[in-house]
Amino acid sequence: MKGKVFLLEDDNSICGLVKVALEMNDFKFSSFSTLKDFTAALQNELPDVALLDIMLPDGSGLDALKLLKEKYPSVSCIMLSALSKEEDKVNGLNMGADDYIAKPFSVLELVARVNARLRGKQKSTVLTAQNITLDTETFACEIDGESVSLNRKEFELLKCFMENQGKVLSRDKLLTEVWGYDTGETRTLDNHVARLRKLGVQIETMFGVGYRL
């Protein structure tokens, strides 16, 4: 699979057209017709690219854009809207959209633009989430714009959280990903989480399950 795409769109004909085009080009695809369903889905899984209609039955796709840019900035956002005036495009881009495609659109152009967003993500070694910037190539970390020193395991743990931001990660998964084992009683993970929290990283404890950034 090339990547994962979420579509927020209440027009079934457009959903069907986009689904066929993206799945034929080896993308994993999910669609949502309401802002409520789209927002709920983000709690379980994050897409690489989100395609967002603006006019929805329960709100605006601009609200989804704002949410994604504030909580999940690693997700690339492409507005897909019938609002095609220059001021509409400028407003969407100024709010943080990575691209803006006016309806009606060519599915070939849509696929090309999704591919372009994925290429841009693949080139970058920098992860961003909340108030954190992490460079996986230079091992540099900044929190609130200030350089922070992390040991290797703290860096790997934070990287794991940022690559899965919004997802609940079990203790076993974190221990396997960072320390290479998933069994045994240990406070190592909890101590490292506590250290990251002191540095300003917002990590939520999901009791009985694990943690979530």
Per-residue pLDDT tens for 98-136?
999 999 999 999 999 999 988 866 656 778 888 898 888
Domain boundary among the residues 88, 123, 158 is at 123
Same domain, 79 and 118: yes
Same domain, 174 and 191: yes
At residue 123, the pLDDT reads 56
* Structural domain containing residue 21: 3-123
Identify the CATH number of the domain in which residue 46 sits: 3.40.50.2300
Same domain, 145 and 68: no
Question: Which whole number is the average pLDDT over 182-210?
Answer: 86
Same domain, 17 and 51: yes
Domain boundary among the residues 123, 148, 182 is at 123
Identify the CATH number of the domain in which residue 183 sits: 1.10.10.10
Same domain, 134 and 102: no
Domain boundary among the residues 123, 154, 175 is at 123
Per-residue pLDDT tens for 46-96?
898 999 999 999 999 999 999 998 888 878 999 999 998 999 999 999 999
- 9 in Cβ contact with 33 (< 8 Å): yes
Of the ranges 26-35, 48-57, 184-193, which one carries the lowest mean pLDDT score?
184-193
Same domain, 145 and 71: no
Contacts from 20-25 at CB under 8 Å and sequence distance 24+?
21/107, 21/108, 21/110, 21/111, 22/111, 22/114, 25/111, 25/115
CB neighbours of residue 108 within 10 Å: 10
**Sheet harboring 168-170: ordered strands across?**
168-170, 210-212, 204-206
At residue 8, the pLDDT reads 97
Question: Which whole number is the average pLDDT over 166-191?
Answer: 82
